[in-house]
């Protein structure tokens, strides 16, 4: 079996080493040295160099090395084979940590505490209880739902919004444009774990921010985006923070990555910036999951996490 690998900027030896360990009979070829293209059975890809995928005539499946797949669905002339995304406990746990951490950072005024410490200022101010917060989750797929459950276990009141109507035990769910407005009006902290598709692009904009609840414990709503940068209109976030429409934000993803040095987002008050590290794919856990899928496919069993190209995720 021949496997093509591309992951620009990532630790390629770690990925090949794990693949070789888990699939000793397979040959891993890097995308800049593929040899006979007709021999490639599977491709494992992350952003950067994906144009070569269209030239692989006998490809059986393309695996994204992450949960997001927009870099593949936006690739013209992609071969008509299954695109499979990462679904796995390791990635899910990492994203849950990010979401819980950032909800707590805003809830418990962590940036203010760090500022007080820097000034040796002993200034006790009690925080509201978790149950006083209404968290709205945009995207209640694998990651959104897992994060929602973690937040519920801490006492937060959580609702979720998706594309399709969904019954989820113990979670108030919404869908569609009307459902979105209904949820936003009852949301103090909005968490976005949506994929980037033509429908979700730019959804985090000033109009949406103005629909969030204004009577929450933080004196204004907060947004947390770990979905994709193209979901957010950064100029609107800047305006919303400066004008007090948003009381804070946590942003892990950006319209342009790396976030340009001169972006005004870096210096906004109560805005927490991280460099797209909410849930990084770990080489061992991710290759293990992908190899399981390859073996399934080779045995004629269905793979898990096949992307619906019609909806783009």
Retrieve residue 126's tokens: 């009690």
Examine residue 288 and tell whether it contacts ligand NDP (CB under 6 A): no
Distance (Å, whole) CA 101 – CA 106: 9
For 137, list phi and psi in degrees, rounded to 5. Answer: -105, 115
Options 9-17, 112-120, 197-205, 273-281: segment touching ligand OXD (CB under 6 A): 273-281
Q: In Å, how far are 131, 132, 148, 193 from 156, measured between CA atoms?
A: 5, 7, 9, 17
Task: By CB under 6 A, tell whether 256 contacts ligand NDP.
Answer: no
* Binding of residue 68 to ligand NDP (CB under 6 A): yes
For residues 157 and 111, the answer to whether their CB atoms sit within 8 Å is no
| 228 contacts ligand NDP (rule: CB under 6 A) | yes
Q: Which residue is nearest to ligand NDP (CB)?
A: 141
Which is closer to ligand NDP, CB of 66 or CB of 289? 66
Least spacing, CB of residue 80 vs ligand NDP, in Å: 21
Q: How far apart are CA 128 and CA 188, in angstroms?
A: 12
User: Contact between 67 and ligand OXD (CB under 6 A)?
Assistant: yes
Q: Which of 246, 303, 302, 252 is nearest to 275 (CA)?
A: 252
Question: Which of 28, 42, 61, 68 forms a contact with ligand OXD (CB under 6 A)?
Answer: 68
Question: Chain centroid to CA 20: how far?
Answer: 28
Is there binding between residue 313 and ligand NDP (CB under 6 A)? yes
Site membership for ligand NDP, residue 158 (CB under 6 A): no
SS (H, E, C) 175-227: EHHHHHHHHHCCCCEEEECCCCCCCCCCCECHHHHHCCCCCCCCCCCEEEECC
User: Does the annotation count 228 as an active-site position?
Assistant: yes
The pattern of x and - marking residues 109 through 138 that bind ligand NDP according to CB under 6 A reads ------------------------------
Q: Give the range of 60-68, 74-82, 111-119, 260-268 binding ligand OXD by CB under 6 A.
A: 60-68
196 noted as active-site residue:
no
**Any idea what DSSP says for residue 32?**
T
Bridge partners (DSSP) of residue 271 are 249
Q: Which of 2, 7, 45, 66 binds ligand OXD (CB under 6 A)?
A: 66
Catalytic residue among 228, 242, 296, 309: 228
Query: Which range in 24-32, 72-80, 141-149, 284-292 contacts ligand NDP by CB under 6 A?
Result: 141-149
| End-to-end Cα separation, the chain, in angstroms | 27
Residue placing its CB nearer to ligand NDP in the complex, 216 or 229: 229
Tell me, by CB under 6 A, how many residues bind ligand OXD.
7
Catalytic annotation, residues:
228, 276
């Amino acid at each position: 079996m021949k496997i093509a690998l591309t992951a620009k900027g990532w630790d390629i030896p770690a990925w090949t080493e794990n693949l070789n360990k888990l699939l000793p009979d397979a040959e891993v070829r890097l995308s800049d040295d593929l040899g006979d293209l007709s021999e490639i059975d599977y491709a494992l890809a992350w952003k950067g160099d994906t144009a070569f995928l269209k030239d692989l005539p006998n490809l059986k499946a393309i695996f994204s090395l992450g949960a997001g797949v927009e870099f593949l669905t936006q690739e013209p002339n992609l071969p008509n084979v299954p695109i499979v995304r990462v679904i796995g406990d390791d990635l899910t746990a990492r994203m849950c940590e990010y979401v819980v951490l950032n909800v707590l950072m805003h809830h418990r005024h962590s940036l203010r505490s760090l500022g007080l410490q820097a000034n040796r200022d002993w200034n006790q101010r009690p925080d509201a209880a978790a149950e006083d917060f209404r968290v709205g989750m945009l995207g209640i797929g694998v990651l959104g739902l897992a994060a929602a459950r973690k937040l519920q276990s801490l006492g937060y009141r959580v609702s979720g919004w998706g594309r399709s109507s969904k019954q989820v035990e113990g979670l108030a769910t919404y869908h569609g444009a009307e459902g979105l407005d209904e949820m936003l009006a009852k949301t103090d902290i909005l968490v976005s774990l949506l994929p980037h598709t033509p429908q979700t692009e730019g959804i985090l904009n000033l109009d949406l921010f103005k629909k969030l609840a204004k009577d929450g414990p933080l004196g204004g709503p907060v947004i947390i985006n770990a979905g994709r940068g193209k979901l957010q209109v950064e100029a609107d976030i800047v305006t919303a923070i400066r004008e007090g429409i948003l009381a804070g934000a946590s942003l892990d993803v950006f319209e342009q990555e790396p976030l340009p040095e001169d972006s005004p987002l870096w210096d906004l008050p109560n805005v927490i910036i991280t460099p797209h590290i909410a849930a990084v794919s770990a080489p061992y856990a991710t290759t293990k999951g992908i190899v399981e899928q390859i073996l399934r496919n080779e045995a004629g069993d269905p793979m898990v996490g096949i992307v619906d190209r019609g909806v783009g995720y």
